[in-house]
Every structure is written in C-alpha cells, then in structure tokens.
Amino acid sequence: ARERWFAEYPLGKLEHQLAWGPSGRIGKWVASHPAIVKIGDTLFVHGGISVETAAHPIDAVNAAVRAALLSGDSEGPSILTDPLGPLWYRGNVERDPPGGDATSAGAGRPSIDAELAQVLAAYGAKRLVVAHTPDLNGIEATAGGRLIRIDSGISAYYGGPRSYLEILDGKAIAWHETEQGGWISEALPSPQ
C-alpha cells in the first residue's frame, strides 16, 4: 500500500496541490493577477497568445483563467491546460517543440510571423513579451522587435543567465548578469 501511495502521490504532490488550490497561498495570488497584460503597446503573457486566444478580448481571457483557477476543478479540459491557451502556448516562438503536439504547435497553423501579426493587430499592440520557452542565451528579440523572449532559464535546473527586461519610453533593454557578477545591457530592436 505504501509503494502504491507514493507512486500516486510522490513527496510534495499534495502540498503542491494545496498551495495552488483556490484557497492556497499561491493559487489565490495567481488568481488575483491577469494572464495577459497590455501596458502601452506591449502585451505580456506567460506562455504565448494563439490566434484562437486573440479572438477574445483580454478581459474575457483573464476572467476565464481566473474562474478556472478559483474553481479548483483539475479534471477535464480547461484554459489552464489548453495547449493553445495563454499559459502553455509556445507557438509564438516555435512550431515543432520536442515531444510537442503537432495539432497545437504546428500542423495547419499560420506561420509564426503571420500569427504574431494577427495577435498584435487583434489587441492593438506592437510587441509581445513571452516567457515559458527557455533560451539559455538570455533575453532575445525576434520578428523585428515584435516578439521578445524573456525566459532565460534562470532556475537552478536550467542554469541560464540571470536577466531582466526593462522597457523605458517604448524602448526595450535586455539586462544580463556576467560571469563576474556585473550587469550588461543590450538595446533590443524597436517594433515598426
């Protein structure tokens, strides 16, 4: 019985579920924040924004994420686990991730550039900032500055460089920690 219990509930699983639950410390905190934020002409999201998500107003997407978090229902399909949803979508960065689902990541989808253009137009933005897909080279801007990847793999698991993004007066600046402990900055291209 003990082996079956630990196979189904490894150490920390129950504590993780409680912390992320609707009344848990992390769950309440996350539910109190939006999944997609637009500041000026820049969109910020954890995973990415698919054309399917962009068909809905930001407030509606955020309300759906909040409701799903607060429901505590982890069974069945949900915006929280949807591969095309704002928490998991990687299609703004790559189309065929290792071990990925071709139906959600690549097959039959618009190109990355076409989808990015549609998403930005739908929300009246010039730039999309995403995390969730680590790049151990640090913060990177692509698509003429219209897409910025900020997940530089700073966790101990990935071992990437510590970094942060600063946007001042519409100009994006990537900051990276050097091996000597200092910080260097790089101006990123401004979207047209």
Task: Give the chain's residues under pLDDT 70.
Answer: 74, 96-107
Q: Any alpha helices (H) in the chain, and if so which ranges? A: 2-8, 13-20, 25-31, 51-54, 58-71, 102-105, 112-123
Instruction: Work out the angle at residue 95's Cα, subtended by the Cα atoms of residues 157 and 57, and round it to the nearest 5 degrees.
Output: 95
pLDDT of residue 73: 72
pLDDT of residue 74: 67
pLDDT of residue 176: 93
The pTM of this model reads: 0.86
Residues whose CB is less than 8 angstroms from the CB of residue 12 and which lie 6 or more positions away in sequence, other chains included: none
| Residue at token pair 């969730």 | 132
pLDDT of residue 5: 84
Tokens of 101: 């689902």
Task: Return the beta strands (E) in 26-170 as ranges.
Answer: 36-39, 42-45, 127-130, 140-142, 147-149, 163-168
Dist. CA 32–CA 22, nearest whole Å: 11
